[in-house]
Amino acid sequence: MPVQAVEERPALWVGHVVLATHDVLRSSAFYLDLGLRQVHEPRATDVIAELEMRGGTHLVLVLDAEARTDGRSAPFDLMADDLDALHDTMDARGVDVTPIERGGHAAFTFRDPDGYTVTVNDSHVSGIV
Protein backbone atom coordinates (compact mmCIF):
# COMPACT_ATOMS: atom_id res chain seq x y z
CA MET A 1 0.00 0.00 0.00
CA PRO A 2 1.55 3.37 -1.00
CA VAL A 3 2.35 5.98 1.65
CA GLN A 4 0.20 9.11 1.35
CA ALA A 5 2.08 12.39 0.88
CA VAL A 6 1.67 14.98 3.65
CA GLU A 7 0.41 17.47 1.07
CA GLU A 8 -2.67 15.29 0.55
CA ARG A 9 -5.62 15.28 2.93
CA PRO A 10 -5.89 11.96 4.83
CA ALA A 11 -8.63 9.65 3.60
CA LEU A 12 -10.35 9.16 6.98
CA TRP A 13 -11.02 11.15 10.14
CA VAL A 14 -12.96 10.79 13.36
CA GLY A 15 -16.64 11.55 12.80
CA HIS A 16 -18.00 11.66 16.36
CA VAL A 17 -16.72 11.52 19.90
CA VAL A 18 -19.31 11.07 22.63
CA LEU A 19 -19.44 12.23 26.23
CA ALA A 20 -22.18 11.49 28.71
CA THR A 21 -23.34 14.59 30.55
CA HIS A 22 -25.61 15.40 33.46
CA ASP A 23 -26.68 18.69 31.84
CA VAL A 24 -26.72 19.04 28.05
CA LEU A 25 -27.14 22.83 28.03
CA ARG A 26 -24.38 23.47 30.58
CA SER A 27 -21.87 21.20 28.83
CA SER A 28 -22.78 22.54 25.41
CA ALA A 29 -22.24 26.14 26.57
CA PHE A 30 -18.89 25.18 28.13
CA TYR A 31 -17.49 23.59 24.94
CA LEU A 32 -18.97 26.34 22.78
CA ASP A 33 -17.05 28.83 24.92
CA LEU A 34 -13.83 26.88 24.21
CA GLY A 35 -14.27 27.56 20.50
CA LEU A 36 -16.27 24.62 19.16
CA ARG A 37 -18.98 25.42 16.63
CA GLN A 38 -22.62 24.65 17.40
CA VAL A 39 -24.25 22.24 14.95
CA HIS A 40 -27.72 23.16 16.21
CA GLU A 41 -29.05 25.26 19.11
CA PRO A 42 -29.87 22.85 21.95
CA ARG A 43 -33.10 23.29 23.91
CA ALA A 44 -33.74 22.48 27.55
CA THR A 45 -35.66 19.35 26.51
CA ASP A 46 -32.88 17.97 24.27
CA VAL A 47 -31.11 14.79 25.32
CA ILE A 48 -28.14 15.43 23.01
CA ALA A 49 -26.12 18.38 21.79
CA GLU A 50 -23.70 18.36 18.89
CA LEU A 51 -20.73 20.67 18.50
CA GLU A 52 -18.19 20.67 15.68
CA MET A 53 -14.43 20.72 16.03
CA ARG A 54 -11.79 21.50 13.43
CA GLY A 55 -11.71 18.83 10.76
CA GLY A 56 -15.45 18.24 11.06
CA THR A 57 -15.37 15.92 14.08
CA HIS A 58 -18.52 16.30 16.16
CA LEU A 59 -18.52 16.25 19.94
CA VAL A 60 -21.82 14.64 20.88
CA LEU A 61 -23.00 15.34 24.43
CA VAL A 62 -25.56 12.76 25.53
CA LEU A 63 -27.76 13.24 28.59
CA ASP A 64 -27.19 10.49 31.15
CA ALA A 65 -28.04 11.57 34.70
CA GLU A 66 -26.63 8.30 36.08
CA ALA A 67 -23.28 8.45 34.27
CA ARG A 68 -20.14 8.26 36.39
CA THR A 69 -18.14 11.15 34.96
CA ASP A 70 -16.35 12.87 37.84
CA GLY A 71 -12.63 12.24 37.72
CA ARG A 72 -12.79 10.05 34.62
CA SER A 73 -10.54 10.75 31.65
CA ALA A 74 -12.36 11.83 28.50
CA PRO A 75 -12.06 9.17 25.75
CA PHE A 76 -10.20 11.67 23.54
CA ASP A 77 -7.77 14.55 23.77
CA LEU A 78 -7.74 17.90 22.02
CA MET A 79 -5.15 20.01 20.16
CA ALA A 80 -4.77 23.79 20.05
CA ASP A 81 -2.71 26.05 17.80
CA ASP A 82 -1.83 28.35 20.70
CA LEU A 83 -1.72 26.19 23.81
CA ASP A 84 -0.45 28.99 26.06
CA ALA A 85 -3.23 31.40 25.05
CA LEU A 86 -5.94 28.76 25.52
CA HIS A 87 -4.52 27.81 28.92
CA ASP A 88 -4.44 31.46 30.03
CA THR A 89 -8.00 32.08 28.78
CA MET A 90 -9.39 29.01 30.52
CA ASP A 91 -7.55 29.82 33.75
CA ALA A 92 -8.86 33.41 33.69
CA ARG A 93 -12.42 32.06 33.26
CA GLY A 94 -12.04 29.91 36.36
CA VAL A 95 -11.68 26.54 34.63
CA ASP A 96 -9.70 24.03 36.69
CA VAL A 97 -6.52 23.67 34.56
CA THR A 98 -3.17 22.08 35.36
CA PRO A 99 0.14 23.78 34.56
CA ILE A 100 1.43 23.19 31.03
CA GLU A 101 3.91 20.33 30.90
CA ARG A 102 6.50 20.64 28.17
CA GLY A 103 7.78 17.30 26.96
CA GLY A 104 7.28 15.43 23.68
CA HIS A 105 4.08 17.41 23.24
CA ALA A 106 3.32 20.39 25.43
CA ALA A 107 0.01 19.67 27.18
CA PHE A 108 -2.29 20.51 30.08
CA THR A 109 -5.50 19.05 31.40
CA PHE A 110 -8.75 20.63 32.51
CA ARG A 111 -11.91 19.50 34.22
CA ASP A 112 -15.14 20.01 32.32
CA PRO A 113 -18.52 20.72 34.00
CA ASP A 114 -19.20 17.00 34.47
CA GLY A 115 -15.77 16.40 36.00
CA TYR A 116 -14.13 14.71 33.02
CA THR A 117 -10.38 15.26 32.80
CA VAL A 118 -9.58 16.40 29.26
CA THR A 119 -6.03 16.71 27.89
CA VAL A 120 -5.13 19.52 25.48
CA ASN A 121 -1.94 19.16 23.43
CA ASP A 122 -0.11 21.69 21.30
CA SER A 123 -0.76 21.25 17.60
CA HIS A 124 1.46 18.62 16.02
CA VAL A 125 -0.25 17.89 12.72
CA SER A 126 1.74 17.42 9.55
CA GLY A 127 0.56 18.44 6.14
CA ILE A 128 -3.00 19.29 5.19
CA VAL A 129 -5.74 18.15 7.57
**Long-range interactions of 1-7: CB distance < 8 A, separation 24+:** 5/127, 6/126, 6/127, 6/128, 7/127, 7/128
Superfamily of domain 16-122: 2,3-Dihydroxybiphenyl 1,2-Dioxygenase, domain 1 (3.10.180.10)
Helices (H) and strands (E) in the chain, counts: 2, 7
CA angle 9, 15, 21 (to 5 degrees): 145
pTM above 0.85, yes or no: yes
Whether residue 4 has pLDDT greater than 80:
no
Distances in Å between the Cα of 44 and the Cα atoms of 8, 27, 47, 53, 94 are 42, 12, 8, 23, 25
For the chain, domain boundaries: 16-122
Between 94 and 55, the more confident residue is 94
How much of the chain, in percent, has pLDDT values that exceed 90?
78
pLDDT tens figures, 96-115: 999 999 988 899 999 999 99
